[in-house]
Amino acid sequence: MMTVTPPKKRRITGVRKTESAVFLEAECGVLRVMPQTGGIVRISFSEEGDFAPAQGSFYRDFSGTISFTVTEGAEEIRIVTPEGTAAVRRETGAVTFLDARGQVLLREAQDVPREMEKITLYRTVLSKGLQVEEIETADGVKKRVKAAEKEVCGEAYRTRTRFSFEASEMLFGLGQGEHGEWNLRHSTYYVHQGNRKIGMPLLVSTRGYGILLSTESPALYSETRGEAFLQTEADAYQDYYFLFGEDLFRVVKNYRRLTGSASMLPLWAYGYLQSKERYESQAQLLDTAETFRQRKIGVDALILDWISWVEGQWGQKSFDPERFPDPAGMVEQLHALGIRFMMSIWPNMSPNTENQREFLERGLLLPGTDIYDAFSPDARKLYWDQVLRGLAPAGVDAWWCDSSEPVTPEWGHVMEPTDGEKYENFKRDAADIMPQEKTNAYGRYHALTIWEGMRSAFPEKRVVNLTRSGWAGSQQYGTILWSGDTAASWECLKEQIRCGLQMAASGMPYWTMDTGAFFVKEGPVWFWKGAYPEGIDEGYKKLYVRWLEWAAYLPVFRAHGTDVDREPWAFGEEGDPVYEAICETIRGRYRLIPYLYSVGASAALEDGMIMRPLFFDFSEDEKASGIPDQYMLGDSLMICPVTGEEDRRDVYLPEGTGWYDMLTEKYYEGGRSVEMCCNLAHIPVFVKAGSLIPGKEAADCTDRQKGAATEVVVYPGKDAAFRLYEDAGDGYGYEQGEYCITELKWEEAKQAFSAKTTGDMRFRSGEIRFRIASGERA
């Protein structure tokens, strides 16, 4: 017979309170409960009783900022704060979270709440045994460590925390899935980085709470056979933050309190951004800019995709002098037209480049790769020094940090791997070149490179970093996350809407995608599967228009892709319905700039949300929680994209308020569905009764709207208020209070409108007038 070694007991045998935490001791280890002000409780468990400060060190620490009491009973120990309670079951150490009213929000599994497995950490050694293979992908040539000598560099734990969720609650967040995943219940969802996937460590529930992991390693959520858990792959100990909230807005505020407030984007970033794969020369860019202005179509930035460098010198931070003979002169001409310039830069550099030679000489590349080590402060400084020497003198306004995962093993396959295979491949390839405990966070460290460099060198320009990967805290660094290289189809459009809403639920304010999808045609590999082999045919034109109409109501409005051109005139000429619909969509975006910029300012200054699923605003409306293709943009606009070939869609109007069709201004009662006919130039957009929507006359760029009158449309039915935000439009004066707020108000009983401005009056732009929406009942 084999000898059985019983597991160590979980029963709590000792309780110790300090000013900032409660330590609950058991034979199996120590549970630490740290209440923090604002509705945060940190839950940590260590088998050894050690809580290394490096774990979660990126997050802000509010421990010791709230009073709490500890009450011991025979069955449980209660840690009580004015904002909520953590009740620990004495027998097993399972934690139950209750709100300030004593209502249970979440329970850890009561019998076996947590498990840990010790693992050995290794790092790749640069030696003669190192074998690297090169894989040709649509993202360029990628290096992968095939074989290597490794040395032990430490120990960590694979952790698993089990939870008992209510049958009716829905779970969202954990970043952007590849297939537009929605409610994560009863599924296995992998949290890692990929070309079309952005992992994030925040999970939120429709019951009004959040769980924020402190890990920077890969993770997963699994709920099968009645068992649900969150797992992390490499941590010093088990660790998560429970975020209480009066509602999910408060949960996101707590996420931002811990991980950092979003930086503010410049005004121009809310205009239309034109990109494609690719503008090949200075002449093409200038010709495109002139064509926009001649056609009187709004555009605020042109974006240069890859190969700004000399052919064959991938990632070199300099311009090809033949194709870009005068970059500074080019940017100066763009600026004269009111157009900014963004360009693509990469974390990897070909072996034949001067840039890579510098990194090699100083040992600042990730082992076996051409990728710089963004975890190293010295490497970040060198990377920015190269940008400053080779690109920034041209006057570049913004950066597109492509391939910032920085490994995408799924793109080395002809046949699509399963989700589980993608996860395991990412874990393997990323751990071969990066610290295993940090492999999900490379994109954030890379963003820090750009943030620190731009803030130091160009304080007059707000940082704008379009990037394909991020992690908790990326929002601090001027990042706009985008969804990767998608493939054109109506199904993909539907999935992308859900992707954007999941990113919003994950706490990220700035998100966009490739309008019309990156791939339009079908290629030889699994990801190059556009549904339009002829390119711009009638079918694709319609898809593109509907996609663009949705994109116009995202935080960032950008067109991009390969296979076909993406400028408006690629789809027709003046008088053509498709061309006119595209132009009207862009004009509509510019009319809304005052509203959008003010909502964006709220995200930066007040930790607000720009876009979000309906259940954030209508938590009491059960039907709203299940709708994945309508969402709120700010507090007032409900966006309802058209996601099929028919020029109609059903729209659900959440209960508890009335709604106005923004196009016709007809009024509808809430709590019902309506069928909307949608002409080619518009998708349904509804305004909540009791709203004020500031707008300006459309112009060909945001610079040329400055000083123009603001018209406020009143959508009556309730008292209404809106904070109209104005500042210099760029730079960081807003951090010192250099802005003004105009409090717009509507008093329903008096049918009276008022506007009162406070703050720095230098930025009050143009007169404010108002009109009342017609409100004809539908």
Which residue among the candidates 402, 437, 563, 730 is catalytic per the annotation? 402
Cis check: omega of the bond before 546, within 30 degrees of 0: no
Which residue among the candidates 83, 373, 397, 405 is catalytic per the annotation? 405
Asked if residue 429 lies in contact with residue 145, where contact means CB atoms within 8 angstroms, the answer is yes
DSSP readout, 400-467? EETT-S---GGGG-SSPPPHHHHHHHHHHHHHHHS-GGGTT-HHHHHHHHHHHHHHHH-TTS---EEE
Q: Which amino acid is at 10?
A: R
Q: Which amino acid is at 371?
A: I
Closest CA to 174 of 147, 144, 204, 209: 204
Say if strands 752-759 and 272-275 run parallel, antiparallel, or are unpaired: unpaired
DSSP helix/strand/coil, 730: coil
Distance CA 262, CA 211 (A): 20
Instruction: Count other Cβ atoms within 10 Å, centred on residue 74.
Output: 5
Total count of residues recorded for the chain: 778
List the beta strands (DSSP E) in 257-381. 272-275, 301-304, 340-345
Is residue 378 part of the annotated active site? The answer reads no
Is residue 747 part of the annotated active site? The answer reads no
Q: Is 300 exposed, middle or buried (0-12, 13-18, 19+ CB in 10 A)?
A: buried
Tokens of 677: 């006919």
Is residue 419 part of the annotated active site? The answer reads no
Which residue among the candidates 300, 320, 485, 727 is catalytic per the annotation? 485
Query: What pairs with residue 619 in β-bridges?
Result: none
Closest CA to 12 of 73, 97, 102, 68: 73
Closest CA to 476 of 445, 438, 514, 440: 445
User: DSSP assignment, residue 346?
Assistant: -
Tokens of 776: 């004809």
Closest CA to 639 of 667, 619, 610: 610
Closest CA to 199 of 218, 180, 181: 218
Catalytic residue positions, numbered = 402, 405, 485
